[in-house]
Amino acid sequence: MLDNNYDNKYKSYLKILGEDLKIYLESVIKELMEFNKNHKDDTFVIGKLYGYMEIISMIQQQSVADGLTLKDVGLDNFNPEKYINQRIDEIKGRKQISH
């Protein structure tokens, strides 16, 4: 059993990591939207977004399996699949408008 101080540091680290992942994901989406404006094929952009979705989903699932709450890891009230799919729809919508 881990001591309480170590356990709190662990949870704090994971929460910051989860929150930072969401922030980083937003900046990546902005970069990918810019990239997509100049390229006809959006396969790269969509593939990269699905990769992030898988990573965040895996962190959420493993956290719960390890007895942590999604709030503990800063990913509560965050559905990566819904979020990423909305962004993909935005990318595709902008692509259709520009062509």
The amino acid present at 71, given as its one-letter code, is K
The Cα 30–Cα 91 span in angstroms is: 10
Is the pLDDT confidence value at 76 over 60?
yes
- pLDDT confidence band for 38 (50 / 70 / 90): confident
Averaged over 64-91, what is the pLDDT?
87
pTM of structure: 0.70
Phi and psi torsions of 41, nearest 5°: -90, 120
Q: Is the pLDDT of residue 2 over 70?
A: no
